[in-house]
Amino acid sequence: IALPKGSTYLFAGANDIGAKASWNFAAMTKLRPGLSVGGGVLYSRLGARAVYSPALSRGLGLEARVYDLRRPTTDAYANFKLSNGLTIFGGERDLLRDGRRTTFGLQYQF
């Protein structure tokens, strides 16, 4: 995350490194404390993202992503902050289709 304390910040990253990697790059705007929305490239496709993250150093947060104009896809995740920058997450990829899949992982932001 670049410019994390600003009202607008940049979110960038990679997914599934070592297999079939995809990329994220989005501009995000803070609507109110703990709530950000934005858009850009998600999973290497055009998309939008909304994130609810409590102001506490630890706590539960929620995230939704909608992406891919050719095959619109919706993801929903729950995030739990373990420490500053370290988060575990779990959720559903392609939430609205029969082929949806559960995903979980560990994420570190610096």
- Per-residue 3-state assignment (H helix, E strand, C coil) for 12-75: EEEECCCCCCEEEEEEEEEEECCEEEEEEEECCEEEEEEEECCCCCCEEEEEEEEECCCCCEEE
User: Tens of pLDDT along 25-75?
Assistant: 999 999 988 899 999 999 999 999 999 987 655 689 999 999 999 999 999
User: Tens of pLDDT along 11-26?
Assistant: 898 887 888 899 999 9
> What pTM was computed for the model?
0.82
**Token code pair at residue 98:** 């029969």
For the segment 2-17, the average pLDDT, to the nearest whole number, is: 83
Predicted confidence at residue 37, as pLDDT, reads 97
